[in-house]
């Protein structure tokens, strides 16, 4: 049992704002299970629940220096989780509406202009989500997808390991899949190749 497991949430939050990785690990271990159960109950999909939890903790770490958790870590995490669940549900509705509109466009080919407008809007949404990726992750992802560099070339260009490149691309794809919905994600990935 580590000394961190004996600390209060308030103490862990204070250490987290100081970039203490062990405090972060303790928060993760303390809350990941119960947060997953809560997310799974709402989303009824274990992969989506895992992605939401993963995104929540990435965001917690990325914003650690700006955190202002005065009362309860659990309340903060549940609120952040609830907001992410709402985002997933909202994206599903948008995806469903988008798929319905695609069906209509296939039937009524006279509306090609409308399709092009939607495609342009979709491209803007995708670009916006790519721009929202953490800086290093975005840089690696863009070098891979836009400049078609392989992992070795990216690693040499950025002075990082190929394994880091691979992890960054995998994480970027997971985040984009979660944020954009699987159908939009697949369309985007196939357009790149």
Q: How far apart are CA 10 and CA 72, in angstroms?
A: 7
As a whole number of angstroms, the distance between CA 186 and CA 193 comes to 11
Q: Which of 82, 107, 132 is the last residue of a domain?
A: 107
Residue-by-residue pLDDT tens, the chain, 193 positions:
679 889 888 888 889 889 999 999 999 999 999 999 998 998 888 898 999 999 999 999 998 888 777 668 888 889 888 988 888 888 877 766 666 666 555 555 544 565 566 667 767 777 777 787 888 888 887 888 788 888 888 889 889 998 988 888 788 878 777 776 655 555 555 555 4
CATH code, domain with 186? 1.10.10.10
**Residue 110 DSSP code:** G
Neighbours of 84 (CB within 10 A): 21
Say yes or no: 135 and 124 in one domain.
yes
Three-state DSSP class for 190?
helix
42 and 122 fall within a common domain: no
Domain end marker among 38, 73, 107? 107
Task: Show the domain range for 61.
Answer: 1-107
pTM given for the model: 0.49
User: Do 133 and 72 belong together in one domain?
Assistant: no
């Amino acid at each position: 049992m580590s000394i961190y497991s004996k600390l209060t949430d308030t103490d862990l939050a204070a250490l987290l704002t100081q970039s203490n990785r062990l405090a972060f690990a303790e928060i993760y271990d303390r809350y990941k299970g119960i947060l997953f159960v809560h997310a799974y109950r709402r989303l009824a999909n274990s992969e989506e629940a895992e992605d939401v939890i993963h995104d929540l903790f990435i965001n917690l770490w990325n914003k650690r220096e700006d955190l202002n958790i005065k009362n309860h870590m659990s309340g903060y995490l549940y609120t952040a989780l609830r907001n992410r669940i709402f985002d997933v549900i909202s994206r599903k509705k948008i995806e469903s509406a988008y798929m319905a509109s695609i069906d209509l466009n296939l039937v009524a080919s006279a509306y090609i202009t409308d399709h092009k407008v939607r495609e342009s809007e979709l491209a803007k949404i995708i670009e916006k989500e790519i721009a929202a990726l953490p800086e290093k992750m975005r840089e690696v992802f863009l070098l891979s997808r836009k400049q078609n560099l392989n992992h070795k070339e990216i690693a040499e260009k950025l002075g990082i390991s190929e394994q880091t490149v691979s992890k960054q691309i995998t994480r970027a794809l997971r985040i984009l899949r979660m944020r954009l919905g699987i159908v939009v994600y697949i369309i985007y990935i196939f357009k790149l190749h």
